[in-house]
Amino acid sequence: MRPMPFLLFPAVALVAQAPAPADLTQRFNAELPGINQMLKTFQAQQAMTKVEGLIPAERPAFNGTNLQTIGQSMDNAQGLLSFYRLWANTAAEAGQWEKAVEIQQKRLTVAQGIKADLDKAQAPIAAQWDKAAKDSQDYLAKNAARQQELQTTLNGLKEEIAAVNAKTKKPDAKGLEDLKARAGKAPEQQLELDQINAALPVHKQNLVNAPKVAKVLADNRKEAEGMVKAAETSLAKAKAVLASQNDEITKFNTEQVMKKAKIVGKKTWVDAVLRNHENVTKLNGTQTQAAFLNRLLVLDPGNAGAAKALENLKQGKEPFAKEARPAKKAAKKK
């Protein structure tokens, strides 16, 4: 839930807010269960295609008009980046690790763009509230005492006039003339007091709201920085996993060459991996096993062993389940 926007006084014009449209976070939350179900049923490729279709071709415009629209834009940004993260995860489960790295790079670029937009939107708001807080502090310093002075003067004048009218006080000619002169200034003094009375609550409220606005701005910056950091971390991990596997394949091929093997390459490495069934069966959960088999099939498309193991998983069997041989027919007696 985003905080309600704070009004900067004396800008008191209120505009009716239309209900915010469904954002990408809401769409992500609605689509996520279905995508997860596809992954559980070993439909990683289909899941990846579906997620890609849910991501806007262009990043939604960042609305930096005020705190409320910034909050809505940040919610939308979280949803967009969640879709990129899910897209990368589905690509990885489909065995397309190179594609996953590419998607994570796009995610980082988008996150950096969002942070740049936020910084641009927040700068004038922060400056506006800094000025408002300073102006309000100055106004209170100059007018709080003046309010008391005017109030005391006008109250004393009213009491004095009431006493003269009630004939409980009888000033001499000079005193009466002074009273009339002070009474003549009263409307101007009352107007000044009314203006101060109207402005003081506004300036006091600005001083209350200014630190709240500063906190909202700081929270938004922290959120945007978190988006960038998370994307950087995910990209680094995706690159590391891919590099580690490539290094393992290179090392394997080097050893094959040293053994003077005639065939080297990814296919040979995949075959070697599949010969030790534990490379697959030791992985935790059938979904993880399927993801690894998908990777082997990307490295060696059409590999019969990997394809058969994956099909076994889809049928609810162990990946390397042995098929029962048909029973031999009994020999007929002569």
pLDDT tens per residue across span 236-295: 999 999 999 999 999 998 888 887 766 667 899 999 999 999 999 999 999 999 999 999
With b meaning 16 or more CB within 10 Å and e meaning fewer, what string describes 227-257? bbeebeebbeebeeeeeeeeeebeebbeebe
Same domain flag for 53 and 77? yes
HSE, CB side, 13 Å, CA atoms: give it for residue 300.
Answer: 20
- Domain count for the chain, please give it: 3
Is 80 a domain residue?
yes
pLDDT of residue 144: 85
Same domain flag for 35 and 76? yes
Same domain flag for 35 and 125? yes
Instruction: Tell me the residue type at 300.
Output: D
Same domain flag for 116 and 218? yes
Same domain flag for 49 and 61? yes
Instruction: Tell me the residue type at 294.
Output: N
Residue 328 pLDDT level (bands cut at 50, 70, 90): low
Predicted TM-score of the model (pTM) = 0.80
Query: Residue 107's closest CA among 88, 92, 90?
Result: 88
Q: What is the pLDDT of residues 167-208, one digit of tens each?
A: 888 888 888 888 888 888 888 888 988 888 888 988 999 999
Q: What is the pLDDT of residues 125-171, one digit of tens each?
A: 999 999 999 999 999 989 988 888 888 888 888 888 888 788 888 88
pLDDT of residue 302: 92
Q: Give me the domain span that covers residue 264.
A: 245-314
By the 8 A CB rule, do 133 and 169 touch?
Answer: no
Q: Which residue has the higher pLDDT, 109 or 146?
A: 109
Is 9 a domain residue?
no
Is 288 a domain residue?
yes
